Structures are given as structure tokens and as C-alpha cells.
Chains A and B, each alone.
Chain A
């Protein structure tokens, strides 16, 4: 199903807008605009092209321009009973990829990193560069898509991506559980979509074929007080990045109120996570990478992936 043609012309227009000199920044939905630091100087603001270029449900891949809203993407996928790893919280596809934050139901839908099969971006010298390939398995050359995912647009400005899609589970059910160690919930259910814990109550997303979901719920009921929930609890604004074992002690590790993603490690809290020291040698590699990809520092100036 091809809804847009002449993708190259559109990307060439975007490359022309980015140009070859002077600071430039891409604005997507603005939902994560301040991540990685405020823009410095007087960067020209450009917008990435929009639209779904090619969607092949049977192939489980979709080619989509970076400026497309994630809502539009998810709507198109849902028409074919599919979904993907990008979060659905507003903003653009390109923004979601360069921010690289995973969905709440990451255990079920996979990570953004693993979903990005191919990237096309405009480089600091205004060239269109392609990395990766439009197939689900690929080790042809160096892994540019991994480098771009989570890069906050500091290495290149995304124009288009090819994403892996997944079938939406036939049944999904949110449950709330009391008086149980949330880690046990994760061990009882084979492949939960998510297990959340706020220090008192737990929430679990059970998914799969209907009879399996019923059986899992029965197993849960034997071990904990469970009730049906309308959805996940409300998430506090700050994102903490922890190991799964630290997240399951969030009551000791995290200041203030929190919701911890058990088995994943991400914690949403009312306070911000203290700044972590990067590994010094990894930081050197990252600095060299930035310098090699953007020698004059014109792409999203002021942003850094070490926050």
C-alpha cells in the first residue's frame, strides 16, 4: 500500500532546507523539546517531511517520513491489526526515534532501538545518507540505525525511517494487584506486556490468545488480590533509568513518588534522577563521533545525549 510517491524529491527538499552551513534544528511535536539541554545560539528551525511512504502489513514493515505524527502512524497500523515499538504519546516519528524512549508496554512491543531497520537522514554537510536496510534481518555494514536512535538529532537530521511492526496481541488486559511482590507477578506471567509498581500496588498487562490470558489471570488470582484495572496508573513526569533490580527497590532508591517498570528498569518519579557520570572512555568515543559526523556542531546545537 503506497500512499505517497516521489519520496526522493521530498527528502531532497528537506536536505535543501537543512543546507550546508549555519546552525539548524528540527522541531517535531515539541513534546521532548528540552531533552538533552536547551538549544543554544540562533539555530534555524526546520521541519522534517511528513507521510507514510510505504506500508506492507504482510512484510511487517513500514516506511514513514520523520515528520509524520506517531498518532497517524499508529492509526494506519491499527487498521491492519498491527502496532510498533514507538510510543503513542504525541509528537513525530522522527522525534520518537531520536529520543529513543520505549513504550510503557516495552516488554510486549519491543524497544525503539530494535524497531528501526533503516534510516535516511540529512548530514551536517547537507547530504542525504542511508543506513541499514528495508528488511527485518540485516548485518550489511556498520549499524548506522542504532547510532541514530537516541542521538537527539546530534549526528544527522532524520528524514525517513523503515520500522518493524508487530501484530497487536489478540487480547490485552490490565489488572491491579495488592499484597504481592511485583517481581513475583513477572515470574508468574510468561510474557507480560508491562509490570508496574508504585511501592504499594502493582499493575500488570496480561496479553496473548484469550484462553492463555484467562489461564494467566487464574494463576495470578491464586497468588495475589487482583482486580481489573482501566489501564496503567498515572505516571509522574521524570524518567529514571535504572537496572531492573534497582527499579524493584525504587522505594529505597528513588526520591518522592514513583511508578517503576518491573523487569525493565525505567522509573517515573516526581523528582529528577541525579546526573550520572558517563564512562569516560565511552564519552571520548561519543565526542569523536559527534566531531566526525558534525565537525562544526551545527546540528541541534546545545543538545547532548549525556544529560
Chain B
């Protein structure tokens, strides 16, 4: 088949039915497309993609679900593929549903302060549309230029500004969801306390294992009239972390509190020149927003706390340009890392805020022992650590050392009273650690939640729960005929 011809009806019955339900050019089964969709932004391999569909409507998503069910295939939703826990990696050649062509902002309803959007809308695109109207969508993951709102919902994503406003879950009021059996459910509502169980709350953060969100009602947050951005420098990471806990303890609720360590700052400076001091052991980027008088009170308070913790320098951005430069540094941190080593593994754990400094010290000790390089840039205000291990996977034995160090970082976080993930999810990355946090009964109840939506475990099987706790998943994976395992 030459590439410029319209694809003809495929011979394979599954592909043929999908092509009939959508359009031949929106169902792809070529090696290039399947290879692309077999990965996400995580370091995990082992994905095998089946046919890749690009629906444009809820009805098409329903049709895909029903066809996949008839052919005994699982279905994996996929947004932009920026997930870091392997949530979108297809296991066992499922039908992959890319939401990229469902990217309309359906309605902006200022009276209810909500917007109805399709799942493929890019996070930043929504905020750009809202800004002139005086609103924005508060969750701002660092990947916001590319990640989709459907992916944000599925991973309950966070971002620097979620400290004051809450993560995605606090900003999703209602969902239209296509269940794995092809039925459409409306979850939640515009009421403050919708009737019935909070199935909307159960769906947000479910990593594509309960169905596919096809419409999302998100909350709009008014843009604050006054914003102040500060950069505090410290001669130790401990002082920066202590400042964060003390600010929270003092009852100040900044919009953002982000810490970057010296190695991260050096990488950022080499990359974009944000004006961060490269001689400080750590910097704290703090932002407060609200009304004029209050933000100045908060700035003074944060400065006092920083100085009491031996801040070597406290800088307040004097202009919008300076503010933008400070944020540019933080927001390009991951790009900067690419300059240091070809591969990175971004971890994501949460610890009580009072334990930040202790756990960070352990992180440095662990990576030293495993001879791995770490950079730290993280949502300190929530206690959300992001140790970023950089390496060159081509070097023999490196990946093993990176995984060994990662496992120890996870355990150190759990021992400090923390949890496995603050915003990236479990996916295939942390399944095997779930039993260290939860009992068999706890995991069994999580599996029941899953089964109420997806009794046959056909949506994104093999994710989140460890295999032993979701036996139906194993069946769904086994149902795949041999030969399609690529």
C-alpha cells in the first residue's frame, strides 16, 4: 500500500470493524505508530501496542469499547504520553485510544465558573483561552505545554501552583465517561454536593483503569490581582527545607513553594540563565498571590522565616519580566537536565513536611552509595519530593544502579511516614511497592472499587494494583491471542 493512497479496508476483522466505526485513516496499525504508542515518558519498556485509534466523538469511543470487547481485547486510553509511571504503556497488545483529536473546549460558562472540555485539550491551551476572561485552570504540571486534561484527570496531576489551590481532583466537577462495556456514565455534577456516591472522585486519579473520560467539567479560578514572587538562597538544603516547614507551620499558604538544589540550579543556569545564584546550596522559589496588602504581609513573613533559617539572600521580583525569568528557570528544569546526561528517572514521593530535610539527606546518601547523580527540584510546600536521577543507559549496569537507588528512596519516604506517589501515579512503576504501604485487605478494597466500574478488568489492565490483587487483570491480559504480542 503506497503511503499517499487512502488506506483501504483492512483484512484483519478487528481492524476492519474499527475502521468502519471511525474512519480508515483514524485507525492505525503500522509499526511506526505502534512503536510510538508502546512507550510514554517513563523509563519502562515492555509495552506492546495493538491498533491505535483516534476517535473524535463519544460515540466513536463507545464503538471502540464494544468492538474491543467483542474481540476480547483490552483498551488503553492515551493522552499526550507524558506520564512518568508507565500508565499509558499498553500491555498485551490492547486497542489504544488516543484522545488527541478530541480537543475542543466545548463551553466556557462564567456564571458557573466552569468549562466543559474534551479530554485531548492541552492543559496550557485551556489556561491561555481563559486568561483574557480573567480566569485560569489552576493545576499547572511542568508538562503543561503538551499534557492533556484527560491525562491530568486520570493521574490527578499537580503542579507548582497546586499548593494553595489543590491538585486536579479539586478542580474537576463532573465527567462524562465511557465505561469498558461501552455505556456512557455521567459522574459528579455542577452541584456542590452531587447526589450519590462520589464516583467522580473515584475516577479522578484512576490511571485509565475505569474507563475513558470523554467530557470534563473543570473549575475556573479567578486570576489574582496581586502576585509576588521571591527567591531565597541558602547555604544548605536543610535550611531551605526547614524554611518551607516553618512557613506552612506559621499558617501562611503561599501559591507555590518550590526548592531546587545547587546541581539543579547550575544546570538551569547553563541552559536558560534564569538569574539563580549558582553558589547557593539550594534556592526556594516562593510565590504568594491575592490582594495587595495581604501579599506584602505574606512576603514579609516568608522573608523573616527565611532569614531566621540563615537565608543568605532574599530577592523579590521587581517586575513581571523578573517574575517570568524566575519561573522560566523552574519550568525548564527538565529540559536543562537533558544537557547533563541522555537519560533521567524522575522520582515522586511525598513525606510529611517536617521530614523533608531528613529524607533529602538520606536521598543524597543513597545515590552516593549507588554512584548515581541526583538533582532535586520539587514541590516542597506539599512535601512532594522529586529526586531526579540522571544517567547514561548505554553504560553497562547503570540502569540497575538507578533502580536500586530508586527503590531505597521509596523505602526511605515510606519510613518517614510518606506515600509512594504525590502526582505521577503508580502505573507499572510502583505496583510492586504497593504491598509495603497497604495490607492485602486494603488492596482488595481498591480492587473492588476498580471492579464496580470495570467488572471484566478490560480498561488498562496490569496497572496500579500488584498482579496478585487483581486476578481479573491477568485474565484480560491472557485473553490476547498469541502472535499479537509483537
State the A residues within 8 Å of B (CB): 56-60, 81-82, 100-102, 106, 110-111, 113-114, 123, 127-131, 133-144, 146-147, 149-151, 155-156, 166-167, 183, 190-191, 208-209, 211-212, 215-216, 241-245, 248, 261, 263-266, 276, 278-279, 281-286, 288-289, 292-293, 305-307
With A101-B193, A147-B197 in contact, do A123 and B445 touch (Cβ < 8 Å)?
Answer: yes
Q: A292 contacts which of B170, B196, B248, B452 (Cβ < 8 Å)?
A: B452
B418 and A135 within 8 A (CB): yes
Give the distance in Å from the alpha carbon of A292 to the alpha carbon of B293 in the complex: 53
B325 at the interface (CB under 8 A from A): no
Q: What sequence of 0s and 1s flags, for each residue 441-460 of chain B, a beta carbon within 8 Å of any chain A beta carbon?
A: 11101101111110100000
With A129-B442, A305-B197 in contact, do A190 and B351 touch (Cβ < 8 Å)?
Answer: no
Give the distance in Å from the alpha carbon of A208 to the alpha carbon of B252 in the complex: 11
> Which residue in chain A gives the minimum CB-CB distance to B111?
A245
A137 and B382 within 8 A (CB): yes
Q: A190 contacts which of B245, B290, B352, B384 (Cβ < 8 Å)?
A: B290
B202 at the interface (CB under 8 A from A): yes
Which residues on the B side are within 8 Å of A81 (C-beta)? 251
A138 and B422 within 8 A (CB): yes
B184 and A281 within 8 A (CB): yes
> Which residue in chain A gives the minimum CB-CB distance to B348?
A139
Give the 3 A-B CB pairs with smallest separation, nearest first: A146-B201, A167-B251, A58-B249
B291 and A208 within 8 A (CB): yes
A241 and B191 within 8 A (CB): yes
Q: What sequence of 0s and 1s flags, for each residue 266-279 of chain B, a beta carbon within 8 Å of any chain A beta carbon?
A: 00000000000000
Could you tell me which residues of chain B, from 172 to 203, have a CB within 8 Å of some CB in chain A?
179, 183-187, 189-199, 201-202
> Which residue in chain B gives the minimum CB-CB distance to A61?
B352
B191 and A281 within 8 A (CB): no
Interface centre among A56, A123, A133, by most B CB within 10 Å?
Answer: A133
With A114-B166, A135-B351, A285-B453 in contact, do A147 and B198 touch (Cβ < 8 Å)?
Answer: yes
Could you write out 9 A-B pairs with CB less than 8 Å apart? A58-B354, A114-B166, A139-B423, A140-B419, A141-B446, A141-B464, A142-B450, A263-B113, A306-B195
Which residues on the B side are within 8 Å of A263 (C-beta)? 113
Interface centre among A114, A156, A261, by most B CB within 10 Å?
Answer: A114
B424 at the interface (CB under 8 A from A): yes
Query: How far is the CB of B234 from the nearest CB of chain A, in Å?
Result: 19
A285 and B185 within 8 A (CB): yes
Give the distance in Å from the alpha carbon of A296 to the alpha carbon of B446 in the complex: 19
B294 and A289 within 8 A (CB): no
B148 at the interface (CB under 8 A from A): no
B196 and A133 within 8 A (CB): no
Which residues on the B side are within 8 Å of A59 (C-beta)? 248-249, 352-354
With A141-B426, A190-B222 in contact, do A265 and B351 touch (Cβ < 8 Å)?
Answer: no
Which residues on the B side are within 8 Å of A183 (C-beta)? 111
Q: A142 contacts which of B249, B422, B449 (Cβ < 8 Å)?
A: B449
B446 and A144 within 8 A (CB): yes
Which residues on the B side are within 8 Å of A191 (C-beta)? 290
Give the distance in Å from the alpha carbon of A57 to the alpha carbon of B352 in the complex: 12
- Of the candidate stretches B14-22, B91-99, B388-396, B432-440, the one touching chain A is B432-440
Give the distance in Å from the alpha carbon of A176 to the alpha carbon of B183 in the complex: 48
Which residues on the A side are within 8 Å of B185 (C-beta)? 279, 281-282, 284-285
B196 and A305 within 8 A (CB): yes
With A146-B198, A305-B196 in contact, do A138 and B350 touch (Cβ < 8 Å)?
Answer: yes
Give the distance in Å from the alpha carbon of A283 to the alpha carbon of B194 in the complex: 13
B421 and A139 within 8 A (CB): yes
Give the distance in Å from the alpha carbon of A183 to the alpha carbon of B112 in the complex: 11
B205 at the interface (CB under 8 A from A): yes
Could you tell me which residues of chain B, from 218 to 276, have a CB within 8 Å of some CB in chain A?
222, 224-225, 245, 248-249, 251-253
B206 at the interface (CB under 8 A from A): yes
With A142-B450, A142-B464 in contact, do A244 and B425 touch (Cβ < 8 Å)?
Answer: no
With A57-B249, A144-B449 in contact, do A190 and B190 touch (Cβ < 8 Å)?
Answer: no
Instruction: Give chain B's interface residue range (CB within 8 Å of chain A).
Output: 35 or more
Query: How far is the CB of B445 from the nearest CB of chain A, in Å?
Result: 5
With A212-B293, A215-B291, A215-B293 in contact, do A143 and B445 touch (Cβ < 8 Å)?
Answer: no
Give the distance in Å from the alpha carbon of A131 to the alpha carbon of B419 in the complex: 12
A167 and B197 within 8 A (CB): no
Give the distance in Å from the alpha carbon of A123 to the alpha carbon of B440 in the complex: 13
With A60-B248, A114-B169 in contact, do A208 and B192 touch (Cβ < 8 Å)?
Answer: no
Could you tell me which residues of chain B, from 133 to 192, have a CB within 8 Å of some CB in chain A?
155-156, 158, 162, 166-167, 169-170, 179, 183-187, 189-192
With A129-B441, A141-B426 in contact, do A241 and B170 touch (Cβ < 8 Å)?
Answer: no
Give the distance in Å from the alpha carbon of A134 to the alpha carbon of B248 in the complex: 16
Which residues on the B side are within 8 Å of A58 (C-beta)? 245, 248-249, 353-354
With A241-B195, A279-B185 in contact, do A142 and B170 touch (Cβ < 8 Å)?
Answer: no
B320 at the interface (CB under 8 A from A): no
Give the distance in Å from the alpha carbon of A171 to the alpha carbon of B443 in the complex: 44
B446 and A150 within 8 A (CB): no
B452 and A285 within 8 A (CB): yes
A137 and B158 within 8 A (CB): yes
> Which residue in chain B gives the minimum CB-CB distance to A261?
B192
Query: How far is the CB of A72 from the nearest CB of chain B, in Å?
Result: 21
B63 at the interface (CB under 8 A from A): no
B189 and A131 within 8 A (CB): no
B383 at the interface (CB under 8 A from A): yes
Give the distance in Å from the alpha carbon of A115 to the alpha carbon of B414 in the complex: 22
Give the distance in Å from the alpha carbon of A289 to the alpha carbon of B210 in the complex: 13
Which residues on the B side are within 8 Å of A130 (C-beta)? 438-439, 442
Which residues on the A side are within 8 Å of B224 (C-beta)? 190
A123 and B441 within 8 A (CB): yes
Give the distance in Å from the alpha carbon of A248 to the alpha carbon of B88 in the complex: 42
Which residues on the B side are within 8 Å of A156 (C-beta)? 445
A282 and B423 within 8 A (CB): no
Q: A241 contacts which of B194, B297, B384, B437 (Cβ < 8 Å)?
A: B194
Give the distance in Å from the alpha carbon of A162 to the alpha carbon of B450 in the complex: 23
Give the distance in Å from the alpha carbon of A283 to the alpha carbon of B379 in the complex: 38
Which residues on the A side are within 8 Å of B253 (C-beta)? 166-167
Q: What sequence of 0s and 1s flags, for each residue 348-361 of chain B, a beta carbon within 8 Å of any chain A beta carbon?
A: 00111110000000
B290 and A135 within 8 A (CB): no
Give the distance in Å from the alpha carbon of A156 to the alpha carbon of B192 in the complex: 23
Give the distance in Å from the alpha carbon of A70 to the alpha carbon of B187 in the complex: 30
A216 and B445 within 8 A (CB): no
With A137-B422, A139-B156, A146-B198 in contact, do A114 and B170 touch (Cβ < 8 Å)?
Answer: yes
Give the distance in Å from the alpha carbon of A123 to the alpha carbon of B201 in the complex: 20
Give the distance in Å from the alpha carbon of A23 to the alpha carbon of B413 in the complex: 40
Which residues on the A side are within 8 Å of B197 (C-beta)? 147, 150-151, 155, 286, 289, 305
B166 and A142 within 8 A (CB): no
A289 and B291 within 8 A (CB): no
Interface centre among A110, A127, A306, by most B CB within 10 Å?
Answer: A127
